[in-house]
Structure 1
Amino acid sequence: MACFFRRIVAQQLVKICGQSENVFIPLISAVPVSKKQSLGDLRVSVNSLVQNGVDLPHDDLQTNTETLAKQIKQNAVVEDIITGRGIIYFRLNKLILAQKLLKQLHSDPERFGLKSELLTHLQSGTTLVEFSSPNVAKKFHAGHLRSTIIGNFISNLKKALGKEVIRVNYLGDWGMQFGLLGAGFEQFGSQEKLKSQALEHLFQVYVQVNREAERDESLRQAAAEFFRRLEQKEPQALLLWKQFMEITVEEYKRIYKRLGVHFDHYTGESFYQSQTQNVLEDLKTKHLLKTTEKGTSVVDLSDAGDMSSYATLARSDGTSLYLTRDIAAALDRKRRFDFDEMIYVTDKSQTVHFQHLFHILTAMGHQWANRCAHVAFGRVQGMSTRRGEVIFLEDVLEEARNRMLDNMRQSSTSKALEDPEETAEKIGISALIIQDFKGPLMSDYKFEWDKVLQAQGDTGVFLQYTHARLCSLLSKYSHEKECSDFSPLMDNRSVCILQHLLRYDEILLQSETDLQPRHLVNFLMTLCHLVASAHRELPVKGSSAQVAQARLCLFSGCRSVLASGMRILGITPVDKM
């Protein structure tokens, strides 16, 4: 509903400056809530007007600002115009602000902020997101957890904004490490253990064969031989590989379900192995593939064409590399899904790999490569469980749930719950997600369980507590009539909340622009703090019916926005805790 207020301001600017409303609407933003609240609710930078083609009469920025401000007329919606340093502020009619925002929140809570004119240009097309992507039989470490929740956030956000989203889990199931696993299982593996503790047993085999291969040349040769058998599609090797893949996917599906994450497609590097020869042939035809003295096949990446920088796509024996398979995967996905954009979510150590991938695709003539992006993230230190080092994602989820369950049992404010373990798991996952999303994704951070699960501060526990508290309040007064008089919401605390809600569409746009969840996390945390203050200062109990109805309407709107934002982040809101 912020677009209604932007349009009113934009119409004024159109009369003075020409251009169209569509030019001005993206330039008008809501002022972040502050303790002073001395400025307006909306603002526009005069510099941004000039940069977007508005011709102003003066060279001096402040003179232009004051000249423009004098020409803008007050009306029923814009009550005052204030100038700052190169910025024009617009103070809105608070009653109209409350009416417009809260009526839309009541009539269409799920789509609040998502219908804004700021976002309409985003609402089309197909986005393919590749994320999580663990390696078969290797430990699902903190990096894979980060990729899983970040990719899920990006997918949720794109879908909320109107995109068709395709979620892909690209499993590492090929290469020499798989040769090691196959050879190791033939020597150390047990079909019985594979049935009872599949992933853990495969990981144990992988660790053992790596250790043995360091001092046993015959094992390394057996691994190379197993991989050759795979590439040549030898039936027994393929049967074992297929068994590992099916077990892995089924196990991960069960664990992803706990996280509230799903995938539309599970594929592996192996799927594209047969297509790598076509990639190499295509590169040869386009005179992009060169052979080094060592016999490896490479693509020159240097600007000068002097091979000062290059990427290897095939070994001297002709076997493909990870990059070759990624090129084949990108080409196949474009053919199958005709995506408008493709986003890869991996840790920052793979930044150069994706630069090479996009460079080669562009050199091959695929202009859609400039609509491919790599969302990189940093490393997590210190994530371990009471059992020791984390091996699988499930260990992390168990730890989060059990620690949260302990905290809930010790808390005097905990409610009686039908399924305390399920609630503890949802809150524990919330805590993991918020801890991860608070800062820039590229940053490394130290993980500390006690800080993650704190009830105070900007944590997932505080976020869930605020939502549950609002649910409890609204449930208690569910018999109250719908609000028709918003005049009791003209106090400073209510106005702060309304002004903050005015920014929701901008926050979604900012999140979509740089694919960073911290903007949405900060917005929701600020809303939680504003709600906590409103709980103290704006009681429903003991107030007149008119005041109670208005305040309940405000709290209901806050709960809707909290729930909407939490779901985009990948968090399931709880009603009680």
Structure 2
Amino acid sequence: MACAFRRSIACQLSKVLDLPPESLIKSISAVPVSKKQEGADFQLSVDSLLEDNSGRSRPDSQAKADRLAEKLKCGSVVSEISTGPGTVCFKINRELLTKAVLHQVMEDGSEYGLKSELFSGLPQRRIVVDFSSPNVAKKFHVGHLRSTLIGNFIANLKEALGHKVTRINYLGDWGLQFGLLGAGFQLFGYEEKLQSNPLQHLFEVYVQVNKEAEEDKNIAQLAHDFFRQLELGDVQALSLWQRFRDLSVTEYVRIYKRLGIYFDEYSGESFYREKAQAILQLLERRGLLQKTAYDYYCSLTRKGSAVVDLSGNGDPSAACTVMRADGTSLYVTRDIAAALDRMDKYNFDAMIYVTDKGQQKHFQQVFQILKIMGCDWAERCQHVPFGIVQGMRTRRGDVTFLEDVLNEIQTRMLQNMASIKTTKALECPEETAEKLGLAALIIQDFRGLLLSDYQFCWDRVFQSRGDTGVFLQYTHARLHSLEETFGCGYLNDFNTTCLQEPQSVSILQHLLRFDEVLYRSSQDLQPKHIVRYLLTLSHLAAAAHRKLQIKDSPPDVAGVWHGQTSSVQSCTFCPSQWNETSWNNTCM
């Protein structure tokens, strides 16, 4: 409904400013709810409007706002016009606000906010999201958790906005580390351990062979030779590698199921080992491949590798190594081959890579080489970097594997649930505890800027009060319980006079902002906007619970109020399972 109000305001403004309404829509924003007093519902920033049309800000924006406000008139939609610092503010007729917002909430349901005019005119796009990407033959490391959660958020958001999304898990299943692992298994591996606990045993082998290779150059050479055999297609080496890969993917699928996440395609570096050679030949034919006496990335060979000069003037610091001296490919070469293959397969409008900020330079080089190769569509490729989580520990010490985190989440949440007297008996308490704990972890992760590092704290994650995932789930469970207990579903007809209390109006005003929040997240791919919106909604609902009693209230009063607070019951843009809980069915 916010879009209809914006259009009405834009139409009135267009007559005064002699501008088409469409050019004004995005300059009109819903006003954030104020704790101190009930304010206006929408505002127009005069500075923003002037910048949009003249390219610069004016020092007399306040005077312009005052003069513009004087030219506008109230009507059936806008009941009050005022000015703020450089803004013109609009207050919507309260009866119309109540009726229109609730009607839109009931009509759109889970798609509320997605049909906004802010998204109109945007074509459906083909989007590839590359995320998670654990390393094969290693247990799912906790370091890949953020990529998994953030990538899933981006994919869900784009999908909800009507785009065609392909989710790719680009596994780390090739490279010199497999030379180490292959040689290591031949030296230290045990078939019985591989069958009983495959990834744990492979991890132990990998740790041992790395240690031995640091002290024994012969083992390092064996590892290099094994990878060389893989690159040349040696049947025995490939058979062992394929076994490691199959065991790993089976384990990853099980972990993703616990997270409520799926992929459309499991790919990997190994898919492009041959195509990477074709890339090297193409670069050489175009005169872009240069031999150098130094290889900045490989400790086993120090000369004869090949680079691409990204500076255009021979600056060695801007050279990107794309081939080892023995002709084997590198991570960057395989990523270039993968990008070309995906464009050929999906003809994407955008491809988004979700990895930690340590790989920013890598993707800059990949995109730059693609441009040098004449791929204009390299501009459609985007890297979404994120910071590092510090201090994630279980009671047993530092966390290495994701499954340790999930098990810790479940244990701690079960303890919290057991300590709360109002927790009712559940059929599957372990499953519910894990979903609640995962929601808490996601909210903790999504609250801030993705690029920022943050210190992890279990106690803060599981707090039931404040801006936490537990509080968000508690609010949802409480509203769901009210609906079940009092039968207060959505009403086809309601009395708008029952919703004039400040707490009710604040919730209605906050609902006006949802489409703007979605739009902002769709532009910068930051989940913090949606998370903060939902947490504020939960706090507003809690304040209303304290002041507006549902129990013992007439059905028309109880039902209408409950309908508005449960309008945004879950976050469509997070893992699908974490909103299916109502573990704490507390009634007022």
Aligned residues of 2:352 and 2:383 also touching (Cα < 8 A):
yes
Q: Report the CA distance shift for 1:206/1:166 in structure 2 as closer, same or farther (over 3 A).
A: same
Task: Tell me the distance in 2 between the aligned counterparts of 1:286 and 1:111.
Answer: 50
2:449 maps to 1:432: no
Q: Counterparts in 2 of 1:50-199, with a 5 A limit?
A: 50-53=50-53, 60-122=60-122, 124-199=124-199
Give 1:215 deviation, angstroms: 2.0
Counterpart secondary structure, 2:444:
helix
Asked if residue 339 in structure 1 is aligned to residue 348 in structure 2, the reply is yes
What is the alpha-carbon distance in structure 1 between the residues aligned to residue 37 and residue 349 of structure 2?
A: 42
Q: What's the counterpart of residue 394 of structure 2?
A: 385
Corresponding position of 1:497: 507
- Structure 1 residue 40 displacement after superposition: 1.1
SS in structure 1 of the partner of residue 385 of structure 2: strand
Distance 1:95 1:568 in 2: 37
2:395 aligned with 1:395? no
Residue identity matched to 2:251? E
Instruction: State the one-letter code of the partner of 1:43.
Output: Q
Classify 1:124/1:456 alpha carbon distance in 2 versus 1 (closer, same or farther; 3 Å).
same
Consecutive unaligned residues in structure 2, runs of 5 or more: 294-302
Q: What's the offset of the Cα at 1:565?
A: 4.6
The residue matched to 2:258 in structure 1 has which SS?
A: helix
Q: Which residue of 2 aligns with 1:348?
A: 357
Counterpart of 1:223, as a letter, is A
Q: d(CA) in 2 for partners of 1:570 and 1:278?
A: 43
- What's the CA shift for 1:154? 0.6
User: Map of 1:298-309 to 2, 5 A cutoff?
Assistant: 298-302=307-311, 304=313, 306-309=315-318
**How far is 1:188 from its partner?**
1.8
C-alpha contact 2:29 2:516 (8 A) present in aligned 1:
yes
Cα deviation, 1:448-504, whole Å, max 9, x if unaligned, reads 111111111111111111100000001112266544222211111100011111111
Match runs of 1:168-317 below 5 Å: 168-293=168-293, 294-302=303-311, 304=313, 306-317=315-326
Cα displacement (A) at 1:122: 4.0
| 1:142–1:380 contact (8 Å) kept in structure 2 | no
Question: For 1:190 and 1:144, how far apart are their aligned partners in 2?
Answer: 28
1:524 matched residue in structure 2: 534
Of 548, 551, 566 in structure 2, the residue corresponding to residue 556 of structure 1 is 566
Contact 1:157 1:568 in 2 (8 A): no
8 Å CA contact retained: 2:507, 2:565 = no
The 8 Å contact of residues 160 and 568 in structure 1, kept in 2 or not, is answered as: no
Structure 1 range deviating more: 412-421 or 245-254: 412-421
Q: Deviations over 1:157-192 (max 9, x none)?
A: 111111111111111111111101011112222233
Instruction: Measure, in 2, the Cα distance between the counterparts of 1:396 and 1:483.
Output: 48
* Aligned with 1:454 (options 454, 463, 467): 463
Distance 2:449 2:92 in 1: 33
Distance in 2 (alpha carbons) for counterparts of 1:514 and 1:361: 24
Contact kept in structure 1, 2:137 and 2:245, CA below 8 Å: no
1:152–1:570 Cα contact (<8 Å) kept: no
Q: Give the TM-score taking structure 1 as reference length.
A: 0.95
Aligned to 2:296: none
Structure 1 421/527 Cα, relative in aligned 2: closer, same or farther at 3 Å? same
Do the aligned partners of 2:138 and 2:200 also contact (CA within 8 Å) in 1?
no
Alignment RMSD, CA only?
1.9
Q: 1:479 to 1:68 in 2, by over 3 A?
A: closer
Counterparts of 1:30-69 in structure 2, within 5 Å, are 30-37=30-37, 39-53=39-53, 60-69=60-69
Residue in structure 1 matched with residue 497 of structure 2 by the alignment: 487
Identity of aligned residues (%): 54
1:506 aligns with 2:513: no
Residue 9 (structure 1) aligns with: 9
- 8 Å Cα contact 1:507/1:519 also seen in 2: yes
Q: Is the 8 A contact 1:517 1:569 kept in 2?
A: no
Output the CA distance in 2 between the equivalents of 1:565 and 1:34. 26
Which amino acid in the other structure matches residue 99 of structure 1? K
Contact (CA 8 Å) 1:122, 1:162: kept in 2 or not? no
Match of 1:324 in 2: 333
Give, as a single letter, the amino acid of the residue that structure 2 aligns with 1:152. Answer: N
Matched AA of 1:247: L
Q: Is the 8 A contact 1:132 1:151 kept in 2?
A: yes
User: Is the contact between residue 476 and residue 566 of structure 2 (CA under 8 Å) also seen in structure 1?
Assistant: no
Q: 1:471 aligns with which of 462, 465, 480?
A: 480
CA deviations on 1:43-89 (whole Å, 9 max, x unpaired) are: 11112222232799x98322321221122221111111111222111
* 8 Å CA contact 1:474, 1:556 repeated in 2: no
Match of 1:543 in 2: 553
Normalization by structure 2: what TM-score? 0.94
Q: Counterpart of 2:444 in structure 1: which amino acid?
A: Q
Amino acid of the structure 2 residue aligned with 1:100: A
Give the distance between the partners of 2:559 and 2:54, measured in 1 at CA: 45
Check the 8 A contact 1:153/1:569 in 2, yes or no. Answer: no
Query: Which secondary structure state, in structure 2, belongs to the residue aligned with residue 245 of structure 1?
Result: helix
- Indicate how the Cα distance of structure 1 residues 55 and 425 shifts in structure 2: closer, same or farther if over 3 A, else same: closer
1:53 aligns to what SS in structure 2? Answer: helix
Count, aligned residues: 573
Provide the C-alpha distance between the structure 2 equivalents of 1:295 and 1:88, rounded to a whole number of angstroms.
67
Return 378-387 or 419-428, whichever deviates more: 378-387
Q: After alignment, is 348-357 or 282-291 more displaced?
A: 282-291
303 and 522 in structure 1: CA distance in 2 versus 1, 3 angstrom threshold? farther
2:483–2:562 CA contact under 8 A, matched in 1 = yes
Q: Is the 8 Å Cα contact of residues 140 and 252 (structure 2) preserved in structure 1?
A: no
Cα separation, 2, equivalents of 1:556 and 1:523:
14
Q: Which residue is equivalent to 2:297?
A: none
Confirm whether residue 405 of structure 1 aligns to residue 414 of structure 2: yes
Q: Where does structure 1 differ by over 6 angstroms across 4 or more consecutive aligned residues?
A: none
CA distance in 2, matches of 1:528, 1:556: 10
Structure 2 contact 142–400 (Cα < 8 Å) conserved: no
Q: Which moves more between the two structures, 35-44 or 522-531?
A: 35-44
After superposition, give the CA deviation of every residue in 1:307-361 in whole Å (9 maximum; x if it has no partner): 4411111112221111011100111011011111011111111111111111111
Checking the alignment, whether the CA contact within 8 Å between 1:469 and 1:576 is kept in structure 2 is: no
Query: Shift of the alpha carbon at 1:509?
Result: 0.9
Q: Which stretch shows the higher mean deviation, 353-362 or 134-143?
A: 134-143
1:575 to 550, 574, 582: 582
CA distance in 2, matches of 1:568, 1:90: 37
User: Residue 67 of structure 2 aligns to which amino acid in structure 1?
Assistant: T
Any idea what SS the aligned residue of 1:318 has? coil
Is contact 1:467-1:573 (8 Å) kept?
no
Q: Which moved more, 1:475-484 or 1:147-156?
A: 475-484
Moved more, 433-442 or 389-398: 389-398
Per-residue deviation at 1:268? Answer: 1.2
- Change in CA separation of 1:35 and 1:384 when aligned onto 2, cut-off 3 Å: same
> Contact 2:387–2:452 (CA<8 Å) still a contact in 1?
yes
Deviates more, 1:91-100 or 1:526-535: 91-100
* Paired residue secondary structure (1:32): coil
Q: 1:401-436, CA deviations, whole angstroms, 9 ceiling, x for partnerless residues?
A: 111001111111212212111110000101111111
Partners of 2:141 and 2:401 within 8 A in 1: yes
